[in-house]
Structure 1
Amino acid sequence: MMSHEIRSPMNGIISVAEILDRGKLGKEQKQLVGVINQSAETLLTIIDDILDLSKIEAGKLAINRFDFDLPAVITGVADLLAPSFHQKNLSLNLNLSPDLPRFVHGDANRIRQILFNLLGNAAKFTEQGGATLTATSTELDGNEATIDLVITDTGIGINREVLDRLFQPFEQADSSVARQYGGTGLGLSICRRLAQLMAGEISVSSKEGHGSTFTLTISLPLAKTPDDIRKSNIDHDTSVDLRQPEGAQLHILVVEDNHINQIVIGKILRELGCSYDTADDGILALDKFGKNRYDLVLTDLRMPNMDGFALARAIRDGEDGENHMPIVAVSADAMEEARDESARSGIDAFLTKPIKIEDVRRCLESHVGRQRELKWRSREDSNPQPAD
């Protein structure tokens, strides 16, 4: 509930600021919108940390294991943070050992989160020199490998007296560090707890004024085949044209009880050239769904009268097997249980608020485009061409 209540207003702030930034603004206005964006993103990071810590302490944070490309995850984190290093004229080196396995089985998102935090700290607390991310492995029995991910920087370092309490929640090196660099002191605590949930560990060695070395050690089973790599529907890369035949717009049903979020999602859809109807809950949505033709349903999950889960089940119950309506959850509920229940309810994809224009674009391209392809194939199958 806290995730939902906090993220809903953040969706209004971040999404509207993004829409404003894409408009025709003067130089000073654009600068002010940039301040809003940067401040909101910083606040969202703090919110995510507090929610993660709350989930961990309540024993509600789930580790989701699947096959993934380990070097791609490591390289992806380095690529995302490279601009942070370049802006400060710092070097960023990446060393992947030749014996590092490519496909492993584990929670790629949580490993990515830990690396992003540790490498982000290296950029944050380093003023000269740079950082190096090294990945090595030791094979245990042919089916499992111990992975060492080592991040070394030339930053401010950490006082020996502070090291023992460094991984405690809300701890930072000292008050001057908090004033100069900001932050809540939650990141390292969350990283260690995430590592422990995956039966791993994080260690640190440091000398004040001479940099730090953080090491994530984790054992991961080797994946059987590359074909098992699971990809998110939303990350699906596609170039499907969003325009309908004869220039018609995509028509979307937006189900959302928060009127501010209705406005935000509506502006995003108009930016993408789509038309839309809105409904305040699942009951009103079903009424509109029965009277109009839609290409996709975007629905919140937590609503009065009928929530998004019940709405999805009702739509699926009414389908005849030939037509499949793409349903996408747009929710401020970041808990893994919400994603699982969404899948069980027949929802095709999950977007977490605050949402970005490009997230919605990719989702529309993926799911509406896929549905058109299925319909086209169905027509081909029902009208086979005569043999030569």
Structure 2
Amino acid sequence: MSSPLISKEVTHLAKFRVTRLQYLFVFLSLLALIGVGVTTLAESRSSVSRAQVLSDVETPAASIIFTQRETLVYATRLAQWSTGGTSRREVQIARSLLAQRLAVIDSSGESMGSRANSQYWKALRDSDAIIARAPMGLLPENLHRAVNAKISPVIDSIVAEARDLVVSYQRSVDKDLAENARKSAQNNQRVVLFFYIFLFFGGIFLVSNALTNFKSYRRARRILEAEQKRLEETIAALRETQSVVTKLQELDQVKDSFISTVNHELRTPLTSIMGYIELMRNQRTPESQQNDKYLDVLERNAQILLNLVESMLTLSKIDSPSVGNLDSRVDIGAVLDSALFVLQPALLAKKIELNIERYDSALLSVRGDEGQLSQVLLNIIANAIKFSHEGSPIKIALTAVSRNNRPYVLVSVTDHGIGIPEEDQNQLFTRFFRGKNAISAQFPGTGLGLSIANILVENHGGEISLSSIVGRGSTFTIALPAFPDEEELLIAARRVGVLERSIARLKGAENKDLKALTHEIGGAIGFYGFESEGQDLLKISRAMDSETPENFSRSRRSLEDILTRLESYLKALSEA
């Protein structure tokens, strides 16, 4: 398993995990907790209701007690009157007080008279009738026995009914209190039940979740231990690989030294062979003329071998860690003139018509190594000469262009030779590769020239592009970064600092300062090569002439987009 997948799995296992069943336990626990809350709220309301009942009972109870007291006073006055102990007026006063008490309305909205039953009212009416027929003042002694016989049952009835009024009300109150107590007990039972349910499912969730996460922990630990072991094995393998790489580097140095030595040893006899071939051509005799064709073969093959030696030596230098000084100011026009001077014999031999277009030489300076750039032009132009038909033209153009706000110098070489098949163009810059039509036409070559040129151009931060049609010719275009002038060097040196300060100020800007700040920074960063972002900031500044919340919101969104772009530029410049 790869490291990213292991990291992902360990991260997944390290997370707090809850299974579907555990989610069900949590849900049931929450329902139970909600039940506890609901029943507790109901019990609270029930307590308020019981308190209200007790409050409601208190006033009627007091009224009933007072009514009973007045009833007893009235019964006592009746008993005293029937035996001559008090006057009829005293009895009537007691009866009036009792009537007033019976007419009092308590907090429940009922009068004491409405609570009394019909027997109570009948006894009062009977007593009123007896009092009404009796003489004023004290009851005469001769009437004591007769009146007492009539009034005694009435008094007993009044007293009994007054006692029943109290007992009946007490029973009613006791019934209400008992009902409230029953409901309170039921609510308490529900609270306890829901609480036990919450504890039950909550406990199951905690235990099961602890087991689940403990299993995940143990699995993650096993994975980490296995990964630790794999890392140790990888480190050991890397150390072994490093040892192999060191040996390969040593072998590569030996190879470079061997190639350099072999090239030197080959170049010396090849140069001698070329010299003797030229000497034999100069010492012409009638007998030697018939050997000219042999000398041509010798010279051509010796030249091929010499070119191969030179290419191998160039590749060896390119592959070495040090590839020369690439920061010098190089006049690409002068390099081109030098290359054409070297290639003049080949141009004359094939009667090539050369057409050169160049712009102001002050704009055609590049940053790089003159020797390597000379090698690039020699290889590209030599190929154009080699594959051109005799007497056909070759056009070379030098132009200055801008790419991604950076100046470049383009060198294009156009021939009207055999062209390159489309299926070969992607592999044309591969080492030792040669096009099918070049091989079939038996053009000499090693397949290294374009590969060397491409590597050298890429080392200079440029690129080579190709367009070709078989039978009509090819165009190779070399794009090289131009050497910056003093102003550009100053701008480049300050660009990162300006960008950092601008980003920091824009991020910390308040709404009231945003209009002036975007106007100021928009003009500044445009000068340092960020024209598009500068224009966008100026648009924000102009849009904020109307200071409305919608404008500020829209401007803030636009500013966030600009800041994202500026931060990406800053990252790229810092890495460069």
The alignment's TM-score, normalised by the length of structure 2, stands at 0.35
Instruction: After TM superposition, list the pairs within 5 Å mapping 1:205-220 onto structure 2.
Output: 205-220=467-482
Letter in 2 for 1:13: L
Q: Corresponding residue for 2:261? A: 4
Deviation at 1:90, TM superposition (A): 2.6
Any idea what the Cα deviations from partners look like across 1:173-232, whole Å, max 9, x if unmatched? Answer: 1165365102111111111111111111000011111111100000132577xxxxxxxx
Letter in 2 for 1:50: M
C-alpha change, 1:60 and 1:38, in structure 2 (3 Å) is: farther
Q: Corresponding residue for 2:352? A: 90
Q: Corresponding residue for 1:136? A: 399
Q: Distance in 2 between matches of 1:176 and 1:76?
A: 27
Kindly indicate whether the alpha-carbon contact (under 8 Å) linking 1:169 and 1:189 is maintained by their aligned counterparts in 2. yes
Q: Distance in 1 between matches of 2:306 and 2:485?
A: 34
Q: Corresponding residue for 1:13? A: 270
Q: Distance in 1 between matches of 2:274 and 2:455?
A: 34
Q: Distance in 1 between matches of 2:297 and 2:327?
A: 38
C-alpha change, 1:100 and 1:36, in structure 2 (3 Å) is: farther
C-alpha change, 1:208 and 1:174, in structure 2 (3 Å) is: same
Deviation at 1:160, TM superposition (A): 1.2
Q: Corresponding residue for 1:117? A: 379
Any idea what the Cα deviations from partners look like across 1:287-328, whole Å, max 9, x if unmatched? Answer: xxxxxxxxxxxxxxxxxxxxxxxxxxxxxxxxxxxxxxxxxx
Q: Distance in 1 between matches of 2:367 and 2:265?
A: 34
Kindly indicate whether the alpha-carbon contact (under 8 Å) linking 1:10 and 1:44 is maintained by their aligned counterparts in 2. yes
Residue 26 (structure 1) aligned with residue 284 (structure 2):
yes
Residue 81 (structure 1) aligned with residue 339 (structure 2):
no
Kindly indicate whether the alpha-carbon contact (under 8 Å) linking 2:366 and 2:481 is maintained by their aligned counterparts in 1. no
Kindly indicate whether the alpha-carbon contact (under 8 Å) linking 2:333 and 2:361 is maintained by their aligned counterparts in 1. no
Letter in 2 for 1:53: L
Instruction: After TM superposition, list the pairs within 5 Å mapping 1:99-248 onto structure 2.
Output: 101=363, 104-127=366-389, 129-138=392-401, 145-174=407-436, 177=439, 180-222=442-484
Deviation at 1:141, TM superposition (A): 11
Q: Distance in 2 between matches of 1:105 and 1:5?
A: 33
Q: Corresponding residue for 1:354? A: none
Residue 48 (structure 1) aligned with residue 310 (structure 2):
yes
Kindly indicate whether the alpha-carbon contact (under 8 Å) linking 2:467 and 2:476 is maintained by their aligned counterparts in 1. yes
Letter in 2 for 1:85: L
Q: Distance in 2 between matches of 1:40 and 1:7?
A: 15
Q: Distance in 2 between matches of 1:172 and 1:107?
A: 27
Kindly indicate whether the alpha-carbon contact (under 8 Å) linking 1:82 and 1:92 is maintained by their aligned counterparts in 2. no
Kindly indicate whether the alpha-carbon contact (under 8 Å) linking 1:157 and 1:207 is maintained by their aligned counterparts in 2. yes
Kindly indicate whether the alpha-carbon contact (under 8 Å) linking 1:17 and 1:33 is maintained by their aligned counterparts in 2. no
Kindly indicate whether the alpha-carbon contact (under 8 Å) linking 2:457 and 2:463 is maintained by their aligned counterparts in 1. yes
SS class of match (1:221): coil
Kindly indicate whether the alpha-carbon contact (under 8 Å) linking 1:172 and 1:185 is maintained by their aligned counterparts in 2. yes
Q: Distance in 2 between matches of 1:45 and 1:101?
A: 34
Q: Distance in 1 between matches of 2:438 and 2:394?
A: 23
C-alpha change, 1:66 and 1:33, in structure 2 (3 Å) is: farther
Deviation at 1:166, TM superposition (A): 1.2
CA RMSD of aligned residues (A): 3.2
Any idea what the Cα deviations from partners look like across 1:72-92, whole Å, max 9, x if unmatched? Answer: 211222233233233223311
Find 1:70's aligned residue among 326, 332, 338: 332
Deviation at 1:138, TM superposition (A): 3.0
Kindly indicate whether the alpha-carbon contact (under 8 Å) linking 2:399 and 2:410 is maintained by their aligned counterparts in 1. yes
Any idea what the Cα deviations from partners look like across 1:118-159, whole Å, max 9, x if unmatched? Answer: 1111111111522111111136899x8411000011111111
C-alpha change, 1:208 and 1:61, in structure 2 (3 Å) is: same
C-alpha change, 1:223 and 1:48, in structure 2 (3 Å) is: farther
- Structure 2 unaligned regions, length at least 5: 1-256, 487-576
C-alpha change, 1:15 and 1:103, in structure 2 (3 Å) is: farther
C-alpha change, 1:43 and 1:140, in structure 2 (3 Å) is: same
More helix by share: 2
Q: Distance in 1 between matches of 2:361 and 2:409?
A: 10
SS class of match (2:471): coil
Kindly indicate whether the alpha-carbon contact (under 8 Å) linking 1:78 and 1:94 is maintained by their aligned counterparts in 2. no
SS class of match (2:348): helix
Q: Distance in 1 between matches of 2:322 and 2:343?
A: 29
Q: Distance in 1 between matches of 2:362 and 2:440?
A: 37
SS class of match (1:126): coil
Q: Distance in 1 between matches of 2:398 and 2:309?
A: 30
SS class of match (1:76): helix
Q: Distance in 2 between matches of 1:58 and 1:214?
A: 27
Which protein is bigger by CA-based radius of gyration?
2
C-alpha change, 1:77 and 1:184, in structure 2 (3 Å) is: same
Deviation at 1:38, TM superposition (A): 4.6
C-alpha change, 1:34 and 1:157, in structure 2 (3 Å) is: closer
Letter in 2 for 1:82: Q
- Structure 1 unaligned regions, length at least 5: 225-388
Letter in 2 for 1:4: T
The alignment's TM-score, normalised by the length of structure 1, stands at 0.50
C-alpha change, 1:57 and 1:25, in structure 2 (3 Å) is: same
Q: Distance in 1 between matches of 2:375 and 2:301?
A: 21
Any idea what the Cα deviations from partners look like across 1:321-343, whole Å, max 9, x if unmatched? Answer: xxxxxxxxxxxxxxxxxxxxxxx
